[in-house]
């Protein structure tokens, strides 16, 4: 039996951009045919689109939420959700929240870098993006056939109807002001995007019905650019737009489910795209919503970033440090020179600093001076302590002493570059007063302190509390 603690697992960055800690695989255990890893995606981060030729995957969300994206489907996932990813399926995940998204990833066969194939963004959506730009710079799609993995008619109709639910989830919780905001210059607001989707659903529905009812009907293309201004999309109500799409798609899906399989080969003649089948039309209607969901997520991330900015007109607080070094020889080019230097802070305190002797050997380093790695560990420990003390005081708990023998661990990432991958805090706390907290309360204080610690939220090193 092999038992591996996450605490000792070295973090590395995979090809898709997520931070991985591999728990079990053939590389560190007797397991031969699968692997298990924890993945972390930071707020606002989207992993790169990719697929695996050999491995099938299962994602299990253990913290946070995000948009799970496939080439022909987008769905919001939250803590407790499991996602199956077959070999060859292009996928990526977007953390559109304000906290880390964490998931467990199981691969069979085991994850291998050589089995990870990246996909260029321009290949993700087969709906053409070469049409004219709108007045606000939002891509206007030229009509083209949506190429996706073969799926049954039932799955196709279900996906067509489900798109509205995914769109509703994408805009859930946004205020009226946020829906109308244009956080990305030159792009539509979220409300304008939803109005555009609802508006185009009217003629998507007409094309589907005409192809069902008529022989090779003419299907007119539409120039979408004038619609947002002329129809005053910014003054519409998002509930009505979503309700319109829901009714149209529910009714059309009911009609499609009653049709024989042969009708899916019926054709119409599009005024710019030429001959298209009924399946093409339904795929287009699905793809059009999926095409716009990442744009909505992008706006949402921008809005969340704006929310957390201070509302005060005061400029952001600056923290100043002056670093001074002088070349005292004897041979700079040969690397024979002292690395000793001084740190001076805005309050006037000054320290001698140097690289660690583990990094630069004596006599070119000074063991008695503070090194940057020690300072990083001290900053993380100090910030955590100060936050912990403040939280304890708010709970009416009296702390008499707090000693933390903190330790940082230096490892190498996937590119073999050294970094402080883990900082272990080992606080010993003395309490006084009438209320002495139990271990559960102390653990909760540490958990909240970590989530509110400025330094912990500023670095990617994993911080654990022993």
What residues does each domain of the chain span?
Answer: 6-122, 127-307, 371-465
- Write the DSSP assignment of 285-347 as a string of letters: HHHHHHHHHHHHHHHHHHHHHHHTS-SSSSPPP---EEEE-----EETTTTEE---EEEEETT
Task: Please check whether residue 301 is in contact with residue 174, taking contact to mean a CB–CB distance below 8 angstroms.
Answer: no
Q: How far apart are CA 272 and CA 207, in angstroms?
A: 14
Pure H helices in 138-275: 153-171, 176-180, 190-213, 227-230, 238-257
Q: How far apart are CA 133 and CA 183, in angstroms?
A: 18
| Crossing angle of the two packed helices 372-394 and 439-452, in degrees rounded to 10 | 120
For 12, phi then psi, to 5°, come to: -145, 160
Name the DSSP class of 415. Answer: T
**Cβ atoms within 10 A of the Cβ of 455, count?**
19
Q: How far apart are CA 149 and CA 146, in angstroms?
A: 10
DSSP run (H or E) holding 123: helix 121-124
Pick the CATH number of 371-465 from 3.40.630.10, 3.30.300.20, 3.40.50.2300, 1.10.10.10: 3.30.300.20
pLDDT of residue 120: 59
**Cβ atoms within 10 A of the Cβ of 265, count?**
9
Q: What is the pLDDT along the chain (466 residues), one digit of tens a residue?
A: 778 888 778 777 776 667 888 999 998 888 899 999 999 998 878 888 888 899 999 999 999 988 888 765 677 888 999 999 998 888 889 887 778 899 999 999 999 888 888 875 444 433 333 333 334 444 434 343 333 445 789 989 998 998 898 899 889 888 899 999 998 888 899 999 999 999 999 989 999 999 999 999 998 888 888 888 999 999 999 999 999 999 999 999 999 999 999 999 999 998 877 889 999 999 999 988 988 888 888 888 777 666 544 455 557 788 889 999 999 889 999 999 999 999 999 888 999 999 999 899 989 999 999 999 999 999 999 999 999 999 999 888 999 999 999 999 989 887 888 889 899 999 999 999 888 888 888 988 898 888 888 898 888 888 888 7
Q: How far apart are CA 215 and CA 265, in angstroms?
A: 12
Q: How far apart are CA 126 and CA 168, in angstroms?
A: 23
pLDDT of residue 264: 94
pLDDT of residue 145: 37
Contacts of residue 79, defined as CB under 8 A and 6 or more positions apart, other chains included, come to 61, 62, 63, 64, 65
Positive/negative CA dihedral, 160, 161, 165, 168? positive
Q: How far apart are CA 146 and CA 204, in angstroms?
A: 14
Name the DSSP class of 370. Answer: B
Contacts of residue 142, defined as CB under 8 A and 6 or more positions apart, other chains included, come to 128, 129, 130, 131, 272, 273
Name the DSSP class of 236. Answer: S
CATH number at 6-122: 2.60.120.10
Q: How far apart are CA 6 and CA 193, in angstroms?
A: 42
Q: Answer whether 6-122 and 127-307 agree in fold.
A: no
pLDDT of residue 403: 96
- The closest of 406, 412, 385 to 464, measured between CA atoms, is 406
Name the DSSP class of 46. Answer: B
CA atoms within 13 A on the CB side of 386: 11
pLDDT of residue 71: 62
For 458, phi then psi, to 5°, come to: -105, -10
pLDDT of residue 250: 95
**Cβ atoms within 10 A of the Cβ of 302, count?**
16
Region for 442 from its dihedrals, namely left if φ exceeds 0, alpha if ψ lies in -120 to 50, beta otherwise: alpha
Residue 281 structure tokens: 């039309």
Q: How far apart are CA 167 and CA 447, in angstroms?
A: 34
pLDDT of residue 172: 87
Provide the β-strand partners of residue 75. Answer: 68
CATH number at 127-307: 1.20.120.450
């Amino acid at each position: 039996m092999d038992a591996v603690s996450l605490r000792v697992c070295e973090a590395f960055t995979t090809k898709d951009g997520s931070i991985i800690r591999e728990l079990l695989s053939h590389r560190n255990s007797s397991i031969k045919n699968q692997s298990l890893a924890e993945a972390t995606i930071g707020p606002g981060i989207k992993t790169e689109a990719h697929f695996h030729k050999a491995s099938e995957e299962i994602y299990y969300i253990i913290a946070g939420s995000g948009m799970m994206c496939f080439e022909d489907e987008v769905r919001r996932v939250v803590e407790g959700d499991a996602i199956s990813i077959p070999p060859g399926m292009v996928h990526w995940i977007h953390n559109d929240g304000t906290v880390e998204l964490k998931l467990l990833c199981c691969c069979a066969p085991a994850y291998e870098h050589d089995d990870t194939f990246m996909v260029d963004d321009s290949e993700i959506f087969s709906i053409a993006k070469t049409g004219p730009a709108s007045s606000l710079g939002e891509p206007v799609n030229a009509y083209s056939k949506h190429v996706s993995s073969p799926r049954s008619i039932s799955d196709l109709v279900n996906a067509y109807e489900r798109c509205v639910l995914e769109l509703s989830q994408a805009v859930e919780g946004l205020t009226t002001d946020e829906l109308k905001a244009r956080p990305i210059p030159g792009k539509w607001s979220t409300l304008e995007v939803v109005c555009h989707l609802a508006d185009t659903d009217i003629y998507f529905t007409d094309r589907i019905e005409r192809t069902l009812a008529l022989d090779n009907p003419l299907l007119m293309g539409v120039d979408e650019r004038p619609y947002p201004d002329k129809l005053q999309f910014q003054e519409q109500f998002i509930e009505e737009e979503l309700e319109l799409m829901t009714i149209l798609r529910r009714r059309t899906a009911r009609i499609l489910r009653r049709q024989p399989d042969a009708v899916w080969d019926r054709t119409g003649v599009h005024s710019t795209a030429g001959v298209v089948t009924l399946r093409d039309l339904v795929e287009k209607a699905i793809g059009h919503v999926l095409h716009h969901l990442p744009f909505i997520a992008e706006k949402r991330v921008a809005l969340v970033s704006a929310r957390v900015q201070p509302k005060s007109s005061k400029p952001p607080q600056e923290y100043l440090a002056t670093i001074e070094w002088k070349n005292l020889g004897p041979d700079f080019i040969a690397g024979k020179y002292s690395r000793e230097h001084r740190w001076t802070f805005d309050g006037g305190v000054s320290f001698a600093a140097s690289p660690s002797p583990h990094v630069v050997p004596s006599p070119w380093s000074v063991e008695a001076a503070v090194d940057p790695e020690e300072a990083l560990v001290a900053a993380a420990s100090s910030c955590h302590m100060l936050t912990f003390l403040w939280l304890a005081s708010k709970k009416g708990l009296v702390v008499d002493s707090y000693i933390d023998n903190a330790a940082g661990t230096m490892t190498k990432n996937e590119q073999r570059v050294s970094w402080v991958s883990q900082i272990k805090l080992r606080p010993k706390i003395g309490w006084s007063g009438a209320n002495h907290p139990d271990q559960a309360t102390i653990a909760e204080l540490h958990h909240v302190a970590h989530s509110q610690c400025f330094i912990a939220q500023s670095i990617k090193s994993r911080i654990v509390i022993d």
